[in-house]
C-alpha cells in the first residue's frame, strides 16, 4: 500500500512539473522565436528594407538558426566577475518573467492558477526581474553593465508607481484582483469593455470613459517602460552602454535575457488586455454559442486573447522604430511630473464614480 501511495505521489509531482513547463515549450518559446522575426520584418518594412530572407522561406527560420548558434556558443565568465551572482542573474530574470504567466487567463478554461490575487501576484513576482538585472550588472564587474543595471532598476521602480495606481483604480472599479474575473465581467460586446466604461450605463458611462482611456494609456506607457522598450530603452542603450546590463553575457545566458524580454512584452500586453480590452472576451459574440457548439467557445477565447496580446506587442515594435530614445532626465520627468499625478487623479475620480 505504501509503494502505491509513493508511486502516486511521484506521478503527481511529475505531472505538476509537466503542467508548469507546458506554457514555456508550447507558447513562450515559439512566441519568442516568432516575435524576434516579426520585429525584424516590421523594422524592415518601416525602413523600406527586405529584412531576413535567406534561412527558410522568406527568412522564417532565421531566428531558429540564431538560437541554434547561441546554444553552441562558449559560455564565457571573466576572471574578475562574481561568478555565483553572474550565473544566477539570467535564471532569476527568466524566472520572474516566466512565473508571471501563471496568473494570465488565456481563456475561461486555460489559466495557470485561478488565484484571487492574480494582478497583485504579477506585480509582486515581476520584482524578481529587477533583482536579477541589478545582480547581473553588478556581478559583471563592468562599468557599462553596472550603469545599465542602475538605470534599469531606477526606471522599473519609478514606473511601477503609476502602474500600481492604475491597477488599484481598476480593482476598485471591478471589485476583484483576479484577471480571470476581470475578463468575465467584460462579457458580451466591445462596448462593455473597461476601456469604454464597462457595464456602466447612461451618464456614468459617458463620464467614466475618458478616465478609463487615460488609465489605459498610462498603464500601457508605464508597462512599456518596465520592459525597457523604446522610447524607454536607456538601460540597454547601444550607442551609450553597448548593451547595458547584459554586455558581458554570451551563449544561452544572453539568450535567456533575450527570451525574458520578449516574454515580458507579451505579459504586459496580456495585462493591458485583461484589465482594459475585454480579456479573452470576443468583441462580437461567440460563433460556438451561435451554432450550439459550446466546446468551441474556449478556443475562440484563446484566439481573441492571443490576438489582442499580439496586437499590443506589435504596437511596442511599432513604437520602437518610430520614436527616439529619451534622456534619463526626460524619462524621470515623464514619470514623476506627469504619469504619477495623472494616475493619482484617475484613481480618485474612478473611485468616486464607482461609489456613485
Domain definitions of the chain by residue range: 22-72, 79-355
- What per-residue confidence (pLDDT) applies to 222? 92
- What per-residue confidence (pLDDT) applies to 24? 60
- Average pLDDT of span 30-58: 87
- Residues sharing a CB contact under 8 Å with residue 45, sequence separation 6 or more, in sequence order: 51
3-class DSSP assignment, residue 300: helix
Pairs from 216-219 (Cβ < 8 Å, separation ≥ 24): 216/272, 216/276, 216/277, 218/162, 218/166, 218/339, 218/342, 218/343, 218/346, 219/162, 219/163, 219/166, 219/167, 219/271, 219/272, 219/275, 219/276
| Cα(43)–Cα(54) distance, integer angstroms | 17
3-class DSSP assignment, residue 73: coil
Q: Give 5 or 78, the one with higher predicted confidence.
A: 78
H runs (alpha helix) in 277-295? 287-291
- What per-residue confidence (pLDDT) applies to 255? 84
Residue 280 gets the label, from left (phi > 0), alpha (psi -120 to 50) or beta, of alpha
H runs (alpha helix) in 47-191? 62-72, 83-99, 118-125, 127-139, 143-174, 179-185
pLDDT confidence band for 123 (50 / 70 / 90): confident
Amino acid at each position: 500500500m505504501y509503494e502505491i501511495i509513493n508511486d502516486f505521489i511521484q506521478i503527481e509531482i511529475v505531472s505538476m512539473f509537466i503542467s508548469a513547463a507546458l506554457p514555456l515549450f508550447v507558447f513562450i518559446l515559439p512566441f519568442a522565436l516568432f516575435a524576434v522575426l516579426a520585429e525584424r520584418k516590421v523594422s524592415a518594412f518601416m525602413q523600406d528594407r527586405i529584412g531576413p530572407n535567406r534561412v527558410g522561406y522568406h527568412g522564417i527560420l532565421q531566428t531558429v538558426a540564431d538560437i541554434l548558434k547561441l546554444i553552441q556558443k562558449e559560455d564565457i565568465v571573466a576572471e574578475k566577475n562574481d561568478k555565483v551572482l553572474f550565473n544566477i542573474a539570467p535564471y532569476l530574470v527568466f524566472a520572474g518573467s516566466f512565473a508571471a504567466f501563471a496568473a494570465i487567463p488565456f481563456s475561461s478554461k486555460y489559466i495557470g492558477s485561478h488565484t484571487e490575487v492574480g494582478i497583485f501576484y504579477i506585480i509582486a513576482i515581476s520584482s524578481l526581474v529587477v533583482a536579477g538585472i541589478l545582480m547581473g550588472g553588478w556581478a559583471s564587474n563592468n562599468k557599462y553593465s553596472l550603469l545599465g543595471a542602475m538605470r534599469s532598476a531606477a526606471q522599473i521602480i519609478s514606473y511601477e508607481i503609476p502602474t500600481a495606481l492604475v491597477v488599484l483604480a481598476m480593482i476598485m472599479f471591478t471589485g476583484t484582483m483576479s484577471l480571470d474575473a476581470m475578463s468575465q465581467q467584460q462579457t458580451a460586446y466591445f462596448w462593455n469593455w473597461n476601456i469604454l466604461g464597462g457595464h456602466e450605463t447612461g451618464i456614468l458611462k459617458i463620464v467614466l470613459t475618458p478616465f478609463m482611456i487615460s488609465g489605459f494609456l498610462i498603464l500601457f506607457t508605464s508597462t512599456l517602460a518596465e520592459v525597457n522598450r523604446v522610447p524607454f530603452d536607456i538601460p540597454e542603450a547601444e550607442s551609450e552602454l553597448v548593451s547595458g546590463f547584459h554586455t558581458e553575457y554570451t551563449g544561452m545566458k544572453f539568450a535567456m535575457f533575450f527570451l525574458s524580454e520578449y516574454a515580458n512584452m507579451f505579459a504586459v500586453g496580456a495585462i493591458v488586455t485583461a484589465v482594459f480590452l475585454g480579456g479573452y472576451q470576443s468583441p462580437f459574440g461567440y460563433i460556438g454559442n451561435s451554432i450550439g457548439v459550446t466546446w468551441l467557445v474556449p478556443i475562440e477565447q484563446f484566439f481573441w486573447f492571443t490576438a489582442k496580446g499580439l496586437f499590443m506587442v506589435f504596437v511596442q515594435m511599432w513604437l520602437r522604430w518610430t520614436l527616439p530614445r529619451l534622456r534619463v532626465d526626460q524619462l524621470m520627468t515623464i514619470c514623476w511630473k506627469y504619469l504619477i499625478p495623472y494616475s493619482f487623479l484617475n484613481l480618485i475620480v474612478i473611485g468616486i464614480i464607482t461609489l456613485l
